[in-house]
């Protein structure tokens, strides 16, 4: 665990800070997560409570709840997802810009909860990839804050630069391209 980057793992020389691009980009991303709440059932009440002064999700840089998928980078699915709603949840997820993360809040979003019926999706991870699961029915706002901290840790460990630089073509393809005449 010698190669672990935490925030600005830097060296200050005069007025110049030397660090890795991944460390800077991930520090910015993890401290400015903009959630998009998908409040589908009772878990949405606990999601709203997390924004209140008692729990204060703004301490973690996540108070900017966006109700437009083009402005959000973290979808919080709070509640029961029915098959009718699954298509809408997937469409909204597809409209979000990369990088994007998903939190499944509560037993219903994670596994279908107590609903074992033909109308209920048995876990939102069947239609979109989930990064963090929150257990409970409904989970407390503290559980949501804990999950968001875990998501921040996950964001901090990602390789951010590899997505910014396009992959180069193979040298064989480049060598063969000049011989076509």
* Domain-wise residue ranges, the chain: 35-158
Model confidence pLDDT, tens digit, residues 1-36 = 455 555 555 565 566 777 777 788 888 888 888 889
Model confidence pLDDT, tens digit, residues 57-69 = 878 777 788 888 8
pTM for the predicted model, two decimal places: 0.76
Selected from 3.30.2010.10, 3.30.465.10, 3.40.50.12280, 2.120.10.30, the CATH number assigned to the domain covering 35-158 reads 3.40.50.12280
151 contact partners, CB below 8 Å, separation of at least 6 = 33, 74, 101, 103, 131, 132
Q: Where are the beta strands (DSSP E) in 81-166?
A: 101-105, 132-134
165 contact partners, CB below 8 Å, separation of at least 6 = none
Model confidence pLDDT, tens digit, residues 111-163 = 888 888 888 899 999 999 999 999 988 889 899 999 999 998 998 888 766 66
């Amino acid at each position: 665990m010698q190669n672990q980057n935490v925030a600005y793992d830097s060296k200050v020389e005069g007025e110049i800070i030397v660090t890795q691009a991944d460390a800077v980009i991930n520090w910015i991303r993890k401290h400015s997560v903009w959630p998009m709440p998908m409040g589908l059932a009772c878990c949405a009440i606990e999601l709203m409570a997390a924004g209140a002064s008692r729990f204060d999700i703004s301490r973690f840089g996540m108070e900017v709840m966006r109700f437009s998928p083009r402005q959000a980078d973290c979808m919080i699915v709070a509640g029961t997802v029915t098959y009718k709603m699954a298509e809408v949840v997937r469409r909204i997820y597809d409209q979000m810009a990369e990088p994007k993360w998903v939190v499944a809040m509560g037993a219903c979003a994670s596994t279908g909860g107590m609903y074992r019926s033909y109308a209920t999706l048995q876990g939102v991870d069947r239609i979109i990839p989930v990064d963090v699961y929150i257990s409970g029915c409904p989970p407390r706002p503290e559980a949501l804050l804990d999950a968001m901290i875990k998501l921040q840790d996950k964001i901090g460990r990602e390789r951010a630069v590899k997505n910014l630089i396009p992959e180069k073509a193979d040298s064989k393809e480049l060598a063969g391209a000049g011989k076509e005449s």
